[in-house]
Amino acid sequence: MSPLAHRRFLKMNGLGNEIVVLDLRGTGAVVRPEEARAIAADPRSRFDQLMVLHDPRGPGAEASLRIYNTDGSEAGACGNGTRCVAWAMREDPRMGRPGGRLVLESRAGRLAVDRVSATVFTVDMGPPRLAWDEIPLAEPFPDTRRIELQIGPIDDPVLHSPGVVSMGNPHAVFFVDRDPAGYDLARIGPLLEAHPIFPERANISLAQVIDRGRIVLRVWERGAGLTRACGTAACAALVAAARLRLTGREAVVSLPGGDLTIAWGEDDHVRMTGPTELEWEGSLAPGLFAGAA
């Protein structure tokens, strides 16, 4: 039997981004890709990201995170999921702990989380990575504010010249002059996600700058598909826009699931503030893993 059988989980959302929180601290259990896919396939535990807590590796952290997409691949960071974990570690009776700053380890580095109100948290996502080999890209681009990439006819492309940023995972942000909902992102997204220029694939965003303090954003998320919200994409969009002087260094980013406030501080750290919501709790049925042995 899988060590994940009967494990308790929390089904949450961060701005409509579906999150499952699974606490494996104190165990030697690890989620395998096929097990992540099985969990995602169950309507009760369906997720955009699965946030798995393990024991911290170093001093000063409360937990180490492994983050899975619906296809079983791992993500380096998930801002909306990190806020959900922070709520769970503050409020869930079986995970809760006293208040104060929370520090979580991730593949993207240490993430510090502060509580703003009962359900709103700010995550310090750290500095953006802007060099072509840090994002990474498959070939050198000295200026990643806009790179040579387009989709559609060469003389009339549908999308072109994205800004590229890593917020622990790679993002390509295409700036558009009309509502991003008017583009067929479900068709375009998979093509661009897997473009050879992105050796680790990429999250694909369409961003409309309304004014210097507001961006409207739609996201095709690497390994997950269309999503109502993506915290790292919101961070990447603000950084990409600010680098082009389309916005200031702080803006509200409006996604289909709601608004996030993103601030790129003078210390180079990007901070994301937004809500969390607990939907239900459940346990993982043993039958989920019958085909994942």
Residues taking part in catalysis = 78, 230
Task: Decide: 261 and 250 in contact? Cβ < 8 Å.
Answer: yes
Residue 20 to residues 67, 80, 205, 252, Cα–Cα distance (Å): 10, 11, 23, 26
- What is the per-residue DSSP string for 11-47? EEEETTEEEEEEE-TTS-----HHHHHHHHHSGGG--
Cross-strand pairs, 164: 172
- Give the alpha-carbon dihedral of 169, 13, 16, 61, to 10 degrees: -30
Q: Which residue, chain included where needed, has tokens 């989920």?
A: 288
Task: Decide: 51 and 116 in contact? Cβ < 8 Å.
Answer: no
Instruction: Please name the residues in contact with 101: beta carbons below 8 A apart, sequence gap of 6 or more.
Output: 112, 113, 114
